[in-house]
Structure 1
Amino acid sequence: MPKSIASEDIAESTLVTRRGTFRAVAFRDGAEHLALVHGNPAPGTDVLVRVHSECMTGDLFGSTRCECGEQLDAALETIVAEGSGILIYLRGHEGRGIGLVAKIRTHILQDEGLDTVDSATSLGFPVDVRDYAPAARVLRHLGVRSVRLMSNNPDKIAALEDHGIRVAARVPLLAQPSADNIRYLTAKRDKLGHDLPQLENFAGK
């Protein structure tokens, strides 16, 4: 039987934000994570979901090196526009799981010409060590078994399905490329298999 979240490791309250009102579901599963539930996602339906990896530099400080902050904003806006959905914010995923200090060290190498993948592996770090099991567990806790996943990452789809969550559809979440993030996005497409068709017509590359 899949592991569930113990009652002492979860807390819920109402969270009013500038975008709207959410049910905030904080849960401890390794790290402490947060699910934001908007509206009333109906059990048995394909719920609109974003599983978002923590990125302090992008999400909080608006770094233009990545598209993480833009994706977070777009996902929340899409959920509110639809009227219901869930955003799961997974902590401990900084730098695809290598941590904040290591990620900042990779930035130095990226400024010297390496891409987001090679800068990590050259320092001896794995390409991606993120664990999506906590997202699957909180979805089950919320009664969700099937999702429309806002993502460009096929590995995230496979990970959720491996943990028992059906991905009925993938909803693209495409950020506009810029001179600051084009190398990062290109590496994600070419080396990590992300589906990023907007890169084809980028005039600045």
Structure 2
Amino acid sequence: MEIAESTLVTRRGKFRSVAFRDGAEHLALAHGRLRRDDVLVRVHSECLTGDVFGAVRCECGEQLDAALDAIVCEGSGVLVYLRGHEGRGIGLVAKVRTHVLQDEGLDTVDSATSLGLPVDVRDYSPAARVLRHLGVRSVRLMSNNPDKIAALESNGIRVSARVPLLAPASPDNIRYLTAKRDRLGHVLPQVDTFDVAEH
């Protein structure tokens, strides 16, 4: 794993910036003095449309902002930003093609499989390796995805707690959130309380 480190000052404060090449090039942002155990961590999959351009079809950008805010509020923690995870690993062009099918009524799972694409091919092992590089042994993981917990633990990072990271349900994202809950097993209680009739 090739690594380069520097200080990154952002609107939220100062981070230790750890760029690393492990297959793709990724970035970890560490804030404050890290403990070895029970570190507040977000492992975030790249989503150009949500993270950069504020797309409301998904909750990715909101989760990224909320995770960084939580880390700064706590005074320490790590955000691992995994590139090459666009569209759960299918890439940007394919993801945009699935959006067309979603606009025609397919959900996020069927829109991928109807194009002959896998549902999820993300690899979380680079996140585990960079966390070990930072001296982290166990994490409180900000995630709604049980598969992410299993992936980190299978790569030697103990998840001592799952910290929900819930974006509000809206008319723009409710179908996406519902599919993630019902078909991908994400823990999204806000879907249950969303009243479609009111919107």
TM range, smaller chain: over 0.9
Q: Distance in 1 between matches of 2:155 and 2:5?
A: 23
Determine if the alignment matches structure 1 residue 40 to structure 2 residue 33.
yes
Determine if the alignment matches structure 1 residue 59 to structure 2 residue 83.
no
The alpha-carbon deviation at position 42 of structure 1 amounts to 1.4
Determine if the alignment matches structure 1 residue 82 to structure 2 residue 74.
yes
Matches within 5 A, 1:46-195: 46-195=38-187
Q: Distance in 2 between matches of 1:180 and 1:154?
A: 24
Q: Deviations over 1:15-64 (max 9, x none)?
A: 00001110000000000000000001112x21000000000000000000
Q: Distance in 2 between matches of 1:176 and 1:111?
A: 21
- Which residue of structure 2 lines up, in the alignment, with residue 21 of structure 1? 14
Gaps of 5+ in 1: none
Helix, strand or coil at the partner of 2:119: coil
Number of paired residues? Answer: 197
Q: Distance in 1 between matches of 2:35 and 2:134?
A: 10
Q: Distance in 2 between matches of 1:48 and 1:182?
A: 28
Return 195-204 or 60-69, whichever deviates more.
195-204
The alpha-carbon deviation at position 203 of structure 1 amounts to 1.9
Gaps of 5+ in 2: none
Give the fraction of aligned pairs with identical amino acids, expressed as a percent: 81
What's the RMSD between the two structures over aligned residues?
0.7
Among 14, 24, 29, the residue aligned to 1:31: 24
Provide runs of 4+ in structure 1 moved above 6 Å. none
